[in-house]
Amino acid sequence: MTSDAVLTEVVDEVLVVTLNRPEVRNAIDSDLALGVRAAFDELDHRDDLRVGVLTGAAGTFCSGMDLKAFARHGRPRGSQVLLREGARKPLVAAIEGFALGGGFELALVADILVMAEDALVGLPETRVGLFPSGGALHRLPAVLPRPVVAELAFTGDRMGAERAHHFGLVSRVTPPGKALPEALDIAAGIARSAPLGVGAVKELLRTGPGADDFWVRQRELAETVFNSGDAREGATAFAERRDPRWRNR
């Protein structure tokens, strides 16, 4: 799938999704939001795709909501569904330049964040009369201390890669320009893992350990996965010291 605002490319079993509005630092308008949603649908529904990588064109991840478009048309169509649901399969975000406001919230939809050492993230919405309304105030407190989240959201200040890594917000920090190759390396590792097990991990991470039905759902998934062909193949391959079939597709 290729469109003006969002580009996709298949690399082995990985779908690379590129935000492509470089003239406005990949700001989110309706075309971009709907394009990313379509790319996530493609990822989820194609059996040959195992993981997605989300990145931005021209050295910037995403500068946030397109405020000029917002002033004319209101909130981007499809953005709230996109930021609430993400994708069912694993996602890795490769952050270069800026991930601000809605762009930061879009990055937080990913399961793993990779950040260039000179990149910045932040929630500047209060500086323009708005507030973070795309899930950051739900997702960030699960990772960052509440006072750190409050400072980011109240002040609109930006956080660098070193501090983000210190708090565990990002998995890896890379030299400038290397976030995408690092994200692809992580994605390749995910693609080598058993798909049923990866799917179970993704679902339980989305459920969250504090959810009332977490243990019930974990037991249900364990019954399915532990009795699967993937589990038998993995155990047999381990005993015979060979790669299971799913790693050689």
Q: Which residues are catalytic?
A: 105, 125
What are the helix and strand counts (H, E) for the chain?
Answer: 11, 9
Per-residue b/e over 194-230, b at no fewer than 16 CB within 10 Å? bbbbbbbbbebeebeeeeeeeeeeeeebeeebeebeb
Q: Where are the beta strands (DSSP E) in 80-227?
A: 91-95, 98-100, 112-116, 120-122, 158-160, 172-174
Q: Is residue 186 within 8 Å of 171, Cβ to Cβ?
A: yes
User: Which tokens is 210 given?
Assistant: 């504090």
Q: Which residue has the tokens 């500068």?
A: 63
Identity of the residue numbered 184? L
CA-based R_g, the chain, Å: 19
Smallest Cα–Cα separation from 160: which of 106, 222, 232, 97?
Answer: 97
Q: What's the first-to-final CA gap in the chain, in angstroms?
A: 23
